[in-house]
Amino acid sequence: MSSSKILIYDTTLRDGSQAEGVSFTVAAKMRVAQKLDQFGVDYIEGGWPGSNPRDMAFFEKAEELELSHARIAAFGSTRRAKINVEEDAQVKLLLDASTPVVTIFGKTWLLHVTDVLRTTPEENLAMIEDTVRYLKEQGKEVVYDAEHFFDGYTDNSEYALSTLEAANRGGADFLALCETNGGKLVTPFREITNDVVQKFSDSKIGVHCHNDSGVGVAVSLTGIEAGAVMVQGTMNGYGERNGNANLTTIIPNLELKMDYTTNCSSHLEKLRDLSLFIDDATNLRPDIRSPFVGAASFAHKGGVHADAASKSTRSYEHINPSLVGNRTRVLVSDMSGRSSIMMKAKEMGMDVDGRSPEMKSFLEEMKQLEFKGYEYESADASFDLLLRRFLRGEEQAFKVMRYHVGVGNDTENEDAISEATVKLKIGQETRHTVAEGNGPVSALDHALRKALVQDFPSIAEVRLIDFKVRILESNLGTDAITRVHVESTDGVQTWGTVGVSDNVITASWEALIDSVSYKILLGTESV
């Protein structure tokens, strides 16, 4: 254990963008950089100048960023073989990026030197030393990434260490040991890192790990314990193949469990918000099971667990979730007991007598509903409405009198169209609307909103962000029961609703009704 400060080097915008399905616009990269700076990240690797127009555009605009702490780094390689560093076009682009920090990678593994670069071991060492020295002469802080270091060390430790010596002679500020293939496990990783730290006691060592063996976080933390002072990674573990070491897991482990400090310390309660922001910037759905920041990280389902957690959260939670901006959640299912319902009701701001006959009846009713196919773990809004109707006698703000949907063809445009009619009663007023959509559920959604928006304007803020259909008991074929889960948002809150029927339209309609009913409830309670 140590109380020393660890530097956080974020490569989400470069290495993270190599992940399948991840793509940042220039505007998104600018916003992410600002968020990372606000969170206390020390280094932000912005991209590889010259590799694509988007990275070039980012570095041009990055000069306008007014960062309070973080330093932007441009990433590239050593000079090419048999060419003067001053004449290397790629090195020139690194300087043109005008960043205070430049990170370059060089070959450590002799296999790469001879078979990929197709040069001599001696020339490779010169390429490393020349490039680092030249960049230092231009006033840059230089991070040297020793690519494939752990494979190179295993193959020929003497040569691998000589590449670090070359970078040191050039004046590198940091020597980062890269576990590029992600194959090393904890014990060999620790032994190799410890050897480097001892042999390069006057140098600042960093670690850069990948998650191909599922231990990217573990080996990164091991590297810190072995003496590294910088850890590289990405937010949410984005990266090529199985991803990079996940900083949203590394940072809280360093801070809360390992007696290390980072410059993110005072912002740790914003960690979950940062994680969600990064996902939103890439239009990816958050991983609910991500440690510390995932929605399921502090969720309790089983009745025994929920009962224990209600009495002492420490009994089933390894930290106070508020430390990382998360919260305790209770998942209601057919495994739930009275204590689960009580915790869920309390979470929703409802004061319920757990010993009342109504509570017993409600629990039995809910279990019957789940037996029919309802599932409330991801449908908090439907559960909230059910609890209010059953225990408080609260009804919906409107009554559905009739609805109908039809599918046909627009003969003029030769397009399939869906048209829905909805008739509602709101107080003493009747609303009868018709709307079209690109499918039957879309048409029903539009008609429902159209009927409600006059009386409840906030309905216009609601949009559906996910729609899932699951067939239950598929052996029944077309007579099978269908469960529909809808996720909705108003831009501030997100909620889930559920519908079940042997008719997919009916199940969808039920989930839609709960979705808008919950939004109306939110609007009423905020008044």
Task: Tell me what the mean pLDDT of segment 57-73 comes to.
Answer: 94
- CATH code of the domain containing 448: 3.30.160.740
Do 248 and 310 lie in one domain? The reply is no
Contact indicator for 250, 218 with CB cutoff of 8 Å: no
Mean pLDDT of the chain: 89
Is the pLDDT reported for residue 501 higher than 80? yes
**What would the mean pLDDT of 475-502 be, rounded to a whole number?**
84
Q: Which residues contact 152 (CB under 8 A, 6 or more apart)?
A: 107, 108, 109, 110, 111, 112, 146, 159, 160, 163
Is residue 373 within 8 Å of 367, Cβ to Cβ? no
Provide the domain limits for residue 325. 299-364
Domain boundary among 364, 386, 410: 364
Confidence (pLDDT) at 310: 53
Asked if the structure places residue 89 within a domain, the reply is yes
pLDDT tens by residue, 319-330: 999 999 988 776
Question: Are 88 and 198 part of one and the same domain?
Answer: yes
Please count the structural domains in the chain: 3
Confidence of residue 356 (pLDDT cuts 50, 70, 90): confident
Which strands make up the sheet holding 463-472, listed edge to edge? 463-472, 481-489, 494-501
For residue range 136-145, what is the model confidence (pLDDT) as tens digits? 999 999 999 9
pLDDT of residue 425: 93
Are residues 58 and 113 located together in one domain of the fold?
A: yes
Band (pLDDT 50/70/90 cuts) for residue 1 is: very low
Tell me, yes or no, whether 126 and 245 share the same domain: yes
User: pLDDT category, 527, cuts 50, 70, 90?
Assistant: very low
State mean pLDDT over 301-322: 66
CA geometry: angle 140, 146, 149, nearest 5 deg: 170
Asked if 135 contacts 142 with a C-beta cutoff of 8 angstroms, the reply is yes
| Whether residues 411 and 324 fall in one domain | no
Find the range with the poorest average confidence among 175-179, 348-352, 475-479.
475-479
| Mean pLDDT calculated for residue range 130-140 | 98
pLDDT for 368:
83
Q: Are residues 257 and 319 in the same domain?
A: no
Give yes or no: residues 187 and 152 share one domain. yes
- Residue 314: pLDDT band (50, 70, 90) is low
Q: Give the pLDDT mean for 170-188.
A: 97
- State how far the Cα of 445 lies from the Cα of 423, in Å rounded to an integer: 13
Write down which residue in 455, 471, 491 finishes a domain.
455
pLDDT in tens, 6-27: 999 999 999 999 999 898 999 9
The Cα–Cα gap between 517 and 176 comes to: 54
Q: State the pLDDT at residue 303.
A: 52
Q: Based on the fold, state whether residues 324 and 261 are members of the same structural domain.
A: no
Residue 503 maps to a domain: no
CATH number at 200 reads: 3.20.20.70
The answer to whether residue 495 sits within a structural domain is no
Do 136 and 263 have their domain in common?
A: yes
Let me know whether 110 and 73 are in one domain: yes
Domain boundary among 219, 247, 282: 282
The reply to whether 358 falls in a domain is yes
Q: pLDDT digits over 79-88, tens only?
A: 999 999 999 9
